[in-house]
Amino acid sequence: MTATAARSGLIACSLCGLLNARPHRHAGMKLRCARCGSVLYLRKPHSVERCWALLIAAYVLYLPANLLPVLETAKLGERQWDTIMSGVLQLLHDGAWPLALVILIASICVPFAKLSSLTFLLVSVRSGSPADRVLRARLHRLLNFIGRWSLVDIYVGGLLVGLVRFEPVAVISPGPGAIAFGAVVVLTMLASQSFDPRLLWDAGGQDIRG
């Protein structure tokens, strides 16, 4: 048995880190940290349920994010709609492969990797298997770190829309796909924040009772 705070009758404050003693019976009662007054939780409340809900919402919006156009380019009356993927292909066609690579990784690989990894983490917590826990903990840390980079396409869109306003020669405007894409990024960030990595280590779940 390893000594975790939960098994030792302690709760670590998520804000100031203080180890608080946990009274034996506190059902329904809110515990507060002795040092900073934050509400104490043994584990993030309803972590798995919240994470699933946000993740499913992200899956639903993933389709319109990739299928609807994110940018509209109008050059001398000629209009062209671009989805994320067609934007990447356009960049490749223009020979700008480093830019194509950045957008491909940030807008296509990262969101997909986030959705599938979070699903994997949630399923693996449910089965409670102790295999590869260090790797899974690292995966979760990586997810929290890389999620933000997906927004790069939104910023590129925002800058292009603001800068390319040379009517009637060239005008760029945003498309509805940008809304769905932004929502996917925000939802997956919220989902990975609401996932409590300590659940990976609570094999069998005996820690979280009481």
Partner 1 sequence: MLACPECDLLQLAPARPVRLGTVECVRCGATISRTAPCSLELTLAFAVAAAVAFAIANVFPIMTLELQGRTTSETLLGMSAVLQEAGMASVAALVFVTIVLMPALEIAALLYLLGPLAIGRVPPRMALAARLLAFVKPWAMTEVLLLGALVSIGRLETVARVHLGAAFWSMAALMFLFAIIDSVFDPIEPWSRAEALRQVRGIAVPFAPPA
Question: Residue numbers of the site for partner 1 (CB under 8 A)?
Answer: 2-6, 8, 10, 12, 14-19, 35-38, 91, 94, 96, 98-99, 102-103, 106, 133-134, 137-138, 140-141, 144, 148-149, 151-166, 169-170, 173-174, 178-179, 182-183, 186, 189, 193, 197-198, 200-202, 207
124 burial (CB, 10 Å; 0-12 / 13-18 / 19+) is: middle
In the complex, the smallest distance separating the C-beta of residue 2 from partner 1, rounded to whole angstroms, is: 6
21/34 Cα distance (integer angstroms): 9
Give the three-class secondary structure for 43: coil
In the complex, the smallest distance separating the C-beta of residue 159 from partner 1, rounded to whole angstroms, is: 4
| Nearest residue (CB) to partner 1, 54 versus 153 | 153
CB atoms within 10 A of CB 39: 12
In the complex, the smallest distance separating the C-beta of residue 196 from partner 1, rounded to whole angstroms, is: 9
Q: Nearest Cα to 131, choosing from 141, 120, 142?
A: 120
| Nearest residue (CB) to partner 1, 91 versus 115 | 91
CB atoms within 10 A of CB 75: 14
| Nearest residue (CB) to partner 1, 128 versus 158 | 158
Structural contact between residues 27 and 54, judged by C-beta atoms closer than 8 angstroms: no
Structural contact between residues 62 and 177, judged by C-beta atoms closer than 8 angstroms: no
| Nearest residue (CB) to partner 1, 7 versus 26 | 7
In the complex, the smallest distance separating the C-beta of residue 37 from partner 1, rounded to whole angstroms, is: 5
Amino acid (1-letter code) at residue 67: L
In the complex, the smallest distance separating the C-beta of residue 114 from partner 1, rounded to whole angstroms, is: 14
Structural contact between residues 181 and 153, judged by C-beta atoms closer than 8 angstroms: yes
| Nearest residue (CB) to partner 1, 118 versus 200 | 200
